[in-house]
Structure 1
Amino acid sequence: MDSRITPVRLDGRQPYDYRKIRIQFGADRGCCKVSLGQTLVLAQVSCEIISPRAVRPSDGILFINVELSPMASPAFEVGRMSDLGVEINRLLERCLRESRCLDTESLCIISGEKVWQIRVDVNVMNHDGNIIDCCSVAAIAALAHFRRPDVTVDGSEVIVHPSDEKDPIPLSVHHMPICVTFSFYEQGKYLLVDPTDKEEKVMDGKMIIGMNKHREICTLQVSGEMLLMKDQVLRCSNIAVVKVTEVTELIQRALENDRQARLSGQKFGFAESEFTESILTNQLEPEEIQITESRMDEESEEEEDMNGDLNMEKKSKVKILDHGVGMIGEGGTSTWGLEDNEMTEELQKEAKVTQPDQKDTAHATDGNLGDDSEEEGTVMLNLDSVADEKPVRGEKMGLPNSNSNRKKRKGKS
């Protein structure tokens, strides 16, 4: 949610940027595939001769059909038109048919008897947001790419010529209306162009503007729980003019490239445009994302500063008892380190007992006391232990204590 408040979006775009648009034409006339980011739409145009309507006997018919298959999204069902499908179908009819972008009078063969019906089938192959814009681009590009067969009228007889006898005739397209979708957040406070599927799930409402490059609004629809001001509508229309002009130039450039490839005898179609002799065909191009400081980062930094201050307060607890100059030792004897001193003294006593000096020791060697298998041993006698008249190992074994005898002799003398 914070990504829509800051200028950075989830895919790194700016608020008014479109995703990458790619237009491809098939080998057959009137077949167009358009990809808007990960959203993929395939449009196919076909024609047939039918009887005209009684209200307009000299006008042809433009029929638009939109199919949302479960392959595009699990939310779509087979054989059942969802609310989104009905909305897209009605929008395309208003944008293309009611704007009179196609000259229907040129589709008349015999007034009141036979006319051409142009059918546009739009199939959504993958749904990643903003289906309406992608469908409008695919439909108008397919109409501009389509060629109908040439006919000859002989009395009441109509002869349809195949493409090898006579060149097919292109449709008379006056202008190219294209839909631009705007999504609003926080009651119209924030605005995004070309929302993705995730952005559409959290938006408050959206506005769709169908416009051509001549600044003519063909359709306008506002949906959602929000209220828009006049200035916001004018702002969106100004943005839509720029986007429609860019997309129109992209369609005309793709049509010109396909025409040049067909005239020069080069390979064309989906297979040629998709196939490359490289293992990096489906490699995703890295996108540069400019990440600025967000509110979450600021809050985390504030929390870290607060935690650091609390830790410092816990570690440094200084109490001021009195003001003035004091001397060390005025409070009596120091009790610091008494336990450490006692432990060091005990360790020193143990070291004196276990590690006697070589000068103050006497050696007594055990002889062979018998045929036992005991080994000979050497006993070290300490002078302190002898003075205290403590039994030592030498006395237990019956060895003569030389030090005690010497002291006795000195006493007698």
Structure 2
Amino acid sequence: MSNIRKTIVSNCEKTFLLKNLAEFNRLDGRAFDEFRKVEIEFGSDWGCCFVSLGKTKVIAQVSCEIQQPKSSRPGEGILNLNVELNPIAAPHFEADRQSNEQVQLNRLLEKCLKDSKAIDLESLCIKNNEKVWAIRVDINVLNHEGNILDCASIAALAALAHFRRPDVTCDGEEFVIHSIKQKDPIPMVIHHYPVCITYSVFNSGLYILADPTLLEENVADAFLSIGLNAYKELCGLHLGGKADLSPEIIIQTANKAAARASSVVQQIKDAIEQNNEIRYCIFL
């Protein structure tokens, strides 16, 4: 596993950023607790979602295949997440090598989406102990201008909510996969919609910036990522870096993040509903 090759930040850039923070200014003009605009688009295929968070851009594609279940969970389907960091997105990403950053992104997304039990894996079981659906979410970063995690979590969740799998019937020992013309495809069963909300931390919490840019990430002492759903339920919490934050600051930040999570989840649902209406009109 290779080490991360971080973007080089000059002393002038760092000094200028910190000087502005001391004056409670961000270089892009946002307030400390202000997030960049989220845009969600869907492709022609089910489960294809393009998300932009400011200039950070991510595409997620969901696919499925029938497999044998895991022996430890014979009645559950399988959900796999895979993040790809390509050099086209940022020069410090290395092609065909798994970096520490890539591993960390995968783990944080799995905590948010899998460990929170957001996806009903039992609904993916075709026949207990024999056949289940294996769902794979491929997440490709197209452009990195900071906060890949939030952008990827939105793209993955929206793609899963948009995805439809083929219907399957069991005829004795045979499994019949029906085409879209034969039977309507089946949506994923999602219990709740968790997303990641990330902050950059400076001076042990003196300055906490929502939705950091790439420069802010590289200069920050630490980052705080909070997984939340629309019900304000905590689905994940990770503090990385060198700064220590008091429980009071973490709770205050989580309370602010809850409103953002609720807004993003509603935007995902609205985008899916709008896309379904367009598809229905085309079908008619």
Please indicate the TM-score interval, normalised by the length of the shorter structure.
over 0.9
Match of 1:164 in 2: 181
Aligned partner (choices 139, 161, 180) of residue 144 of structure 1: 161
| Match runs of 1:219-368 below 5 Å | 219-265=236-282
Q: Separation in 2 of the partners of 1:103 and 1:238?
A: 27
SS at 2:109 equivalent? helix
**Structure 1 regions of 5+ residues with no counterpart?**
267-413
1: CA distance, partners of 2:131 / 2:270: 35
Q: Superposition RMSD on alpha carbons, in Å? A: 1.1
- Counterparts of 1:11-410 in structure 2, within 5 Å, are 11-265=28-282
Deviations 1:223-273 (A, max 9, x none): 11111111101101101101101101111111111011111128xxxxxxx
Classify the secondary structure of the residue corresponding to 1:128. Answer: coil
Counterparts of 1:164 and 1:5, CA distance in 2: 61
Once residues 212 and 23 of structure 2 are traced to their aligned partners in structure 1, the CA distance between those partners, rounded to angstroms, is: 15
Q: String of CA shifts for 1:334-373, please: whole Å, max 9, x gaps.
A: xxxxxxxxxxxxxxxxxxxxxxxxxxxxxxxxxxxxxxxx
* Deviation sequence 1:204-229 (CA, Å, 0-9, x none): 11110001011111110101111111
Partner SS, residue 8 of structure 1: coil
Mapped to 1, the partners of 2:183 and 2:240 lie a distance apart of 48
Q: For residue 205 of structure 2, give the secondary structure of its aligned residue in structure 1.
A: coil
Deviation at 1:187, TM superposition (A): 1.8
* Structure-1 separation of matches of 2:23 and 2:175: 63
Matches of 1:36 and 1:210, distance apart in 2? 17
SS across alignment from 2:59: strand
Q: Which amino acid aligns with 1:263?
A: Y
SS at match of 1:215: coil
Deviations 1:84-119 (A, max 9, x none): 111000111111111110100000001001000000
Q: Distance in 2 between matches of 1:230 and 1:95?
A: 21
Task: Quote the Cα distance in structure 1 between the aligned partners of 2:162 and 2:75.
Answer: 24
Q: How far 1:164 sits from its partner (Å)?
A: 1.1
Structure 2 distance, partners of 1:108, 1:152, is 12
SS of the aligned residue for 1:67 comes to strand
TM-score, reference length from structure 1: 0.64
Deviations 1:98-149 (A, max 9, x none): 1110100000001001000000000001000000000000000000000000
Identical pairs, percent? 49
Distance 2:206 2:25 in 1: 16
Count of aligned positions: 267
- Give the whole-Å Cα distance in 2 for the aligned partners of 1:12 and 1:152: 56
- The list of structure 1 runs, each at least 4 consecutive aligned residues, that deviate by more than 3 angstroms after superposition, is none
Q: Which residue of 1 aligns with 2:20?
A: 3
Shift in Å at residue 79 of structure 1? 0.7
Q: What whole-Å deviation, never above 9, does each CA across 1:59-87 have from its counterpart, x for those lacking one?
A: 00000111000000110111101111110
* Alpha-carbon distance, 1:2 to partner: 1.6
Q: Distance in 2 between matches of 1:244 and 1:60?
A: 27
| CA apart distance, 1:5 | 2.1
| SS of match in other structure, 2:73 | coil
Structure number having the greater strand percentage: 2
Q: Which structure 2 residue ranges, 5 or more long, are not aligned?
A: 1-17
